[in-house]
Amino acid sequence: MRRSGNVLIKLMTPGLKIKRWLALLLVGVSILTLGIVQIVALLNNAGEFSPVLRVLTLQFLPAGVRVLVAGAVGTGAILIALRQFTRSILAPLATQRRESVVDMVYAHTRRQKGLKIVALGGGTGLPSVLRGLKTMTSQITAIVTTADDGGSSGKLRREMGVLPPGDLRSNIAALADDEALITQLFQYRFSEGGLEGHSFGNLFLTAMSDLTGGMDRAVAETGRVLAIEGRVLPSTLQDVTLMAEVRIPGETRLRRVNGESQIPGAGGKIERVFLQPDQARAYPDAIRAILSADLVVIGPGSLFTSILPNLLVNGIAEALRASNAYKVYVCNVATQPGETDEFTVTDHVLALEAHVGRNVFDAVLANDHYPTRNAGDLTHYVTHSPDDQTIYQRYDVHLVDLTDADRPWRHDSSKLARALLTLYNRAPAGRTFALRDGSRQGAAVNGPVGG
Compute the mean pLDDT over every residue in the chain, rounded to the nearest whole number.
81
**How many CA atoms lie less than 13 Å away from 170 in the CB half-sphere?**
20
Q: pLDDT tens digit string along 24-39?
A: 777 777 777 766 766 6
Distance CA 277, CA 237 (A): 12
Q: What is the DSSP letter of 376?
A: -
Q: How confident is the model at residue 256 (pLDDT cuts 50, 70, 90)?
A: very high
Asked if residue 318 lies in contact with residue 310, where contact means CB atoms within 8 angstroms, the answer is no
Phi, psi values for residue 175, rounded to 5°: -95, -5
> Which of 75-84, 240-249, 279-288, 339-348 is predicted least confidently?
75-84
pLDDT > 90: percent of the chain: 48
How far apart are the two ends of the chain, measured CA to CA in Å?
55
Distance CA 224, CA 431 (A): 31
pLDDT at 2: 53
Say which amino acid occupies 300: P
301 phi-psi bin (left φ>0, alpha ψ -120 to 50, beta other): left
433 phi-psi bin (left φ>0, alpha ψ -120 to 50, beta other): beta
Distance CA 381, CA 331 (A): 11
Q: pLDDT tens digit string along 56-67?
A: 555 556 666 666
Nearest to 142 by CA among 352, 267, 301, 20: 301
Phi, psi values for residue 119, rounded to 5°: -125, 130
pLDDT at 139: 92
- Does the pLDDT of residue 123 top 50, yes or no? yes
Q: pLDDT tens digit string along 224-251?
A: 888 788 999 999 999 999 999 999 998 8
pLDDT at 41: 63
pLDDT at 179: 64
- Burial (CB count <10 Å: 0-12, 13-18, 19+), residue 146: buried
pLDDT at 224: 85
Distance CA 312, CA 148 (A): 14
What is the mean predicted confidence (pLDDT) over 359-373?
Answer: 93
Q: What does pTM read for this prediction?
A: 0.74
Peptide bond into 277 cis (omega under 30): yes
- Does the pLDDT of residue 44 top 80, yes or no? no
State the greatest distance between any 2 C-alpha atoms of the chain, in Å, as a whole number. Answer: 113
Q: How confident is the model at residue 450 (pLDDT cuts 50, 70, 90)?
A: very low
Phi, psi values for residue 403, rounded to 5°: -80, 145
Partners of 305 in the β-ladder: none
Asked if residue 327 lies in contact with residue 296, where contact means CB atoms within 8 angstroms, the answer is yes
- Does the pLDDT of residue 444 top 60, yes or no? no
pLDDT at 237: 94
Distance CA 210, CA 147 (A): 20
Distance CA 270, CA 342 (A): 13
Q: How confident is the model at residue 448 (pLDDT cuts 50, 70, 90)?
A: very low
Distance CA 301, CA 264 (A): 14
Asked if residue 173 lies in contact with residue 205, where contact means CB atoms within 8 angstroms, the answer is no
